[in-house]
Amino acid sequence: MPSNDNSESHTMKLGKHILVVDDVIKNIKLLIVHLREAGYEISFANSGKQAFISVDRHQPDLILLDINIPEMDGFEICRRFKSSKTLANIPIIFLTADGDTGKIEKGFELGAVDFITKPFRFKEVKARLETHLAFYEVKQQLEIRNEELQNAYDKLSNTQLQLVQTAKLAGIGELATGITHELNQPLMYIRANTQMEVKDGLEGLDPESAFNTLKIVEEGTDRMMNIINHLKDFARISDICFLPVNMNEIIEKSLILFREQFKNRNIQITKEFDQNLPEVVGDANRLEQVFINLLSNAKDALSGVKKGSIHLKTIQCKEKSKENFIEVSFTDNGLGIPESKLDKIFEPFFTTKDVGRGTGLGLSVSHGIIKDHNGDFVVDSQEGKGTTFKIFIPLDSGE
């Protein structure tokens, strides 16, 4: 039986820290002698209670734990260690004079990494300790690296979100003049009709004419409110949210900010939408950002073209290689992109526009958004004839 002077745990500071938990003093002394010679730092305890006290004082790198300890056996001690968030990763090797297969299986189920049988063969003990300590050290280093990688990933993700938002706001800035026209047209229509009623005065007021004017005011203000509310929704900072979405509806929403601009520039919009197009799992706000960027680029590419056109098409792919994809295409008959620049258009800060007319972020960020949807983004362009952008989104594109 253990003597009274072992009622508290003791530490000998030499190297890697091993906690020995055994109620037999002879076993503890043997292990201390041999493990000290091997350069280990040793703590020891003769009961479960003392083991927990020892761990609180000095957390070990490995625990040698006897199974047959009175009051609280080794299995219960192991279970309590493994249920602790701070102690669960410490490797535990059971000490036993019993080769019972059932006990060995139970020990492994509880989280032990190995068993050492008594009487001790110290070359074997040292070899097993070196193996598990080395593994534990590598595991700790991996956890540190994983945490560093996770932190780096979180920072990168945050930077990406900021870049997406920057590109979105830059795009709105480029559209500012056009949005002014979108709002100005219904406003001028309202003003012209109300001025006519005011000019006629109360005496000349025709109830039917006044009613028609009020209808015009209502329609005009509804359109302005629709544009403003849509702009607010689009510009807001939003978390990535993958939900079932209808691509036809997202394209229609994107057009809200361009209708008057296209009309004033004599740009014809044609739509060839698959009305049975299946939904995809995607982020509607970010997909709209892509479509607005493509519409804005097409508008600029049609500058100077007398009869400009933009053809919008959606279809479920028939090709075997993309049978589980939908295709969205934007085709214009504008200036086209020089072949020498085609392989650069998705690079950050690259732009084919004149200085001061583009940030070079739009297509780069759009490309990233489509990749986030596990999709593909391709371009086909002929200088002087026009450009087609094709987007392929898988039906199960959500993360």
**CATH superfamily, with its number, for domain 156-394:** Histidine kinase-like ATPase, C-terminal domain (3.30.565.10)
* Portion of the chain with pLDDT greater than 90, in percent: 26
In the chain, where are the structural domains located? 9-120, 156-394
CA dihedral over 247, 252, 257, 262, signed as positive or negative? positive
Q: So what's the pLDDT on residue 330?
A: 96
Name the more confident of 11 and 24. Answer: 24
Asked if residue 182 has pLDDT above 90, the reply is no
pLDDT band at 5 (very low <50, low <70, confident <90, very high): very low
Q: What is the pLDDT of residues 108-118, one digit of tens each?
A: 999 999 998 88
Q: Which pLDDT does position 349 carry in this prediction?
A: 55
Flag whether pLDDT at 241 surpasses 90.
no
SS (H, E, C) 136-166: HHHHHHHHHHHHHHHHHHHHHHHHHHHHHHH
| Lowest mean pLDDT segment, chosen from 19-23, 30-34, 52-56, 321-325 | 321-325
Average pLDDT over residues 242-253: 92
Residues 6+ apart with CB under 8 A from 294: 330, 366, 389
Per DSSP bridges, beta strands 62-66 and 41-45 are unpaired
The CATH code of domain 9-120 reads: 3.40.50.2300
What is the distance in angstroms between the CA of the first residue and the CA of the last residue of the chain? 61
pLDDT tens track for 77-91: 999 999 998 888 899
Q: Do domains 9-120 and 156-394 have the same CATH topology?
A: no
CA distance 126 to 129: 5
The answer to whether the pTM exceeds 0.75 is no
Q: Is the pLDDT of residue 162 over 90?
A: no
As a whole number, the mean pLDDT across the chain is 79
